[in-house]
Amino acid sequence: MGFKRPQGTVGMQKQFSPLTMRLPVLLAALVAVATCTKTFVGHQVLRIIPQSDEELQKVQELQDLEHLQLDFWLAPRKLGLPVDIRVPFPSLQAVKAHLEATGVSYSIMIEDVQALLDEEQREMLRSSRQLPLDTTTFNYDAYHTIDEIYNFMDMLVAENPNLVSKLEIGRSTENRPLYVLKFSTGGTNRPAVWIDTGIHSREWVTQASGVWFARKIVQDHANNEGVASILETMDIFLEIVTNPDGYAYTHTTDRMWRKTRSRHSGAICVGVDPNRNWDAGFGDAGASSYSCSETYHGPYPNSEPEVKSIVDFVKSHGNIKAFISIHSYSQLLLYPYGYTETPAPNAQELHEISAKAVAALSSLYGTQYEYGSIITTIYRASGSTVDWTYNQGIKYSFTFELRDTGRYGFLLPARQIVPTAEETWLALKVIMEHARDNIY
């Protein structure tokens, strides 16, 4: 590192490269060293521009003084070209004295090399995946960890305190907080829309879309377009990481994990399918009573805190008018019921809304969706989320299955996150607008 060149080396820079351009590269090299062994506290970088052959020779002589441990960032070449020297703290006095005594003028380019390195390190950490500075620099084209998403939520709230607040509705089995973002322009207990993503942890495009939705709501409100009109009379609740224990597990251990991470006495295996744990046809055909199954319904309804917390929230809120639970994959828009073939009382209306929502979704990138009731369109499923919410009186209860149809399945390439979120948002707006225009 640095610019120690053997005596008499040719290979001088043909072109003058400004210190400012070289600085990050050199600093990076120093950082690499700094983090291992050395410290550069008190080191300074001096710049000398030799104006005469004598001055040039004096500077060149410095190169021979090994004991000074000088590090030439720009070696002496010819008159008028700068020479940059990193001088270790112990040698500073001696070098400056020598230059002054021989009448060679110099300037201090860097007062304290270590201080600059520390600043550089902070900047590098910030610009890496660890901590984006704000929701504008957040990378929506990538999948994120729980910590990154929770950090995003805090930033969103901090940037929009009059619109967004964060509620903790409970704790997961492994004691992770269950956070819901509330978007509201005021009022008291306004009619509301609920959206959840990530209830099945391996369905990564859904949590990623949830993050995008959160920012989209804020943007629409700021620009007074899109859902801004919905926010005039309704609140939006958004739970992005509905199954945080499962999500953490997909990052650390098993990318294909679907369920919660609960351990119930008498159960051989870990985890309950949170989309079979609701009190609607609980335990009927369409779920498994075997704990090792991916569709294990659990020992009793709402045994999972991830489910119970939403149940409690919905009941105590009492004014939710539309409820949308988001999954992947298959490209489907579904409405109740899954546990019975009996059509939902307003199945006709739900079917019409679905047709409109799917048309809106398709209009953006041509993505094809099928739609219908859960039982006729995908399969019989008991104890599912929207069957319960529907039976609570939430007329507009829907489930989405996002991209794709099996080519990548759960492992949807990150480049498809934003297009998926964008098209899904159009469908969500249709549902929200219908709820707003058909208040009950």
**Would you tell me which residues interact with other proteins (CB under 8 A)?**
142-143, 204, 250-251, 254-259, 263-271, 273, 285-295, 368, 370, 377-380, 405-414, 416
Q: Where are the alpha helices (DSSP H) in 333-395?
A: 347-365, 374-377, 385-391
- Catalytic-role residue among 123, 401, 422, 423: 401
Question: What residues form DSSP beta bridges with 324?
Answer: 195, 398
For residue 128, give every residue at least 6 positions away whose Cβ sits within 8 Å of its Cβ, in sequence order, or none: none
Task: Give all strands (DSSP E) within 27-126, no chain letters.
Answer: 44-48, 71-74, 83-87, 107-110
CB of 254 to other proteins, least distance (A): 7
Helix, strand, or coil here: 430? helix
Is residue 244 a contact partner of residue 267, using CB atoms and an 8 Å limit?
A: no
Is residue 89 a contact partner of residue 43, using CB atoms and an 8 Å limit?
A: yes
Query: In terms of residues, how long is the chain?
Result: 440
CB of 251 to other proteins, least distance (A): 8
35, 36, 96, 426 from 117: Cα distances, Å: 10, 13, 23, 47
- Of 18 and 406, the one with the shorter C-beta distance to other proteins is 406
- Of 201 and 309, the one with the shorter C-beta distance to other proteins is 201
- Of 119 and 254, the one with the shorter C-beta distance to other proteins is 254
- Of 226 and 409, the one with the shorter C-beta distance to other proteins is 409
- Of 236 and 332, the one with the shorter C-beta distance to other proteins is 332
- Of 44 and 377, the one with the shorter C-beta distance to other proteins is 377
Q: Rounded to 5 degrees, what are φ and ψ at 309?
A: -65, -35
Whole-angstrom distance, CA of residue 204 vs CA of residue 327: 9
- Of 132 and 286, the one with the shorter C-beta distance to other proteins is 286
Whole-angstrom distance, CA of residue 236 vs CA of residue 195: 8
Whole-angstrom distance, CA of residue 392 vs CA of residue 407: 37
In single-letter form, the type of residue at position 401 comes to E
CB of 225 to other proteins, least distance (A): 31
State the CB neighbour count (10 A cutoff) for residue 46: 20
CB of 252 to other proteins, least distance (A): 11
CB of 133 to other proteins, least distance (A): 23
Whole-angstrom distance, CA of residue 423 vs CA of residue 176: 31
Whole-angstrom distance, CA of residue 400 vs CA of residue 376: 15
Question: What residues form DSSP beta bridges with 85?
Answer: 46, 72
Whole-angstrom distance, CA of residue 255 vs CA of residue 247: 9
- Of 302 and 330, the one with the shorter C-beta distance to other proteins is 330
CB of 181 to other proteins, least distance (A): 25
Is residue 172 a contact partner of residue 247, using CB atoms and an 8 Å limit?
A: no
For residue 370, give every residue at least 6 positions away whose Cβ sits within 8 Å of its Cβ, in sequence order, or none: 331, 332, 333, 377
Q: Dihedral of CA 426/429/431/437: which sign? A: negative
CB of 114 to other proteins, least distance (A): 37
Whole-angstrom distance, CA of residue 22 vs CA of residue 206: 43
CB of 269 to other proteins, least distance (A): 5
* Residue 401 known to be catalytic: yes
Q: What is the set of active-site residues?
A: 401
